[in-house]
Amino acid sequence: MWIYYDSKTGNVERFMEKVKELRNWHLQRISPDLQVEHPGHLVTFTTRIGQVPESTMQFMQQYASCIKTVSSSGNRNWGQNFARAADYVSWHYQIPVSMKFELSGTKNDVTNFIEILEQYT
């Protein structure tokens, strides 16, 4: 399983570290020099109260055809904009939202995430 993730404050990175403890999946942090060679799933964060990070958008412009699902972290204080980056990416690129989680996620969030992604193998 390949997961490409974008993290700014560390919340998504901490979430991915929890996933790595339970599954030996390939985790690749999004960077300008990343070369995607395998289909996988995207995990990103929501910024500025409901927007997709520019780094995620640049990644998707190049590799959207390789992405099966999108997940996003967010903050429930943002109400209807909670983890909205996943909704936008899903709508714009016609890929399903696998899940949304708050900040760096709970143990249950990690378990649910793994169960959801394993359905796509």
Taking only the tens place, the pLDDT of each residue in 61-93 is 999 999 999 999 999 999 999 999 999 999 999
120-to-12, 17, 81, 84, 110 alpha-carbon distances in Å: 21, 21, 27, 22, 16
The 3 state secondary structure assigned to 1-34 is CEEEECCCCCHHHHHHHHHHHHCCCEEEECCCCC
pTM score of the predicted model: 0.95
Ranges assigned E (strand) in 8-117: 26-29, 40-45, 67-74, 97-102
Q: Domains, the chain, ranges and CATH?
A: 2-118 (3.40.50.360)
Number of H helices, E strands in the chain: 4, 5
In this predicted structure, the answer to whether residue 49 has a pLDDT above a threshold of 90 is: no
